[in-house]
Amino acid sequence: QVQLVESGGGLVQPGGSLSLSCAASGSFFYVYVMRWYRQAPGKQRELVATIATSGGTSYADSVKGRFTISRDNAKNTVYLQMNYLKPEDTAVYYCNAAYMKDDYWGQGTQVTVSS
């Protein structure tokens, strides 16, 4: 069983930056593919970024070049550095851990981009 706790959300002006963290409990964090998703009001949840166990990364086109996902297996933590934020980045951001049939979600953290 893995518990995920996100932190780092908040209110930021357009063009600003935020750094999200997702701390995982339990063992064998390194086997999990980690992902960040987001869900804006009235919209479906969408995949934002993925980091594989190898460290390989992929991003949604809408955030490519602005967001960076990383992981620290020693700290059981995955990060999402968000730069040049836009109002359309406003959403609840969720951390996800997946390994074979196991699939875990955090409770989400709100990111609001507004002047």
Tell me the C-alpha distance between 54 and 7, whole Å: 24
Q: Specify the pLDDT at position 82.
A: 98
Tell me the C-alpha distance between 63 and 113, whole Å: 14
| Mean pLDDT of the 87-96 span | 98
Q: Specify the pLDDT at position 96.
A: 98
| Mean pLDDT of the 23-47 span | 95
- Checking if the pLDDT of 12 tops 90, the result is yes
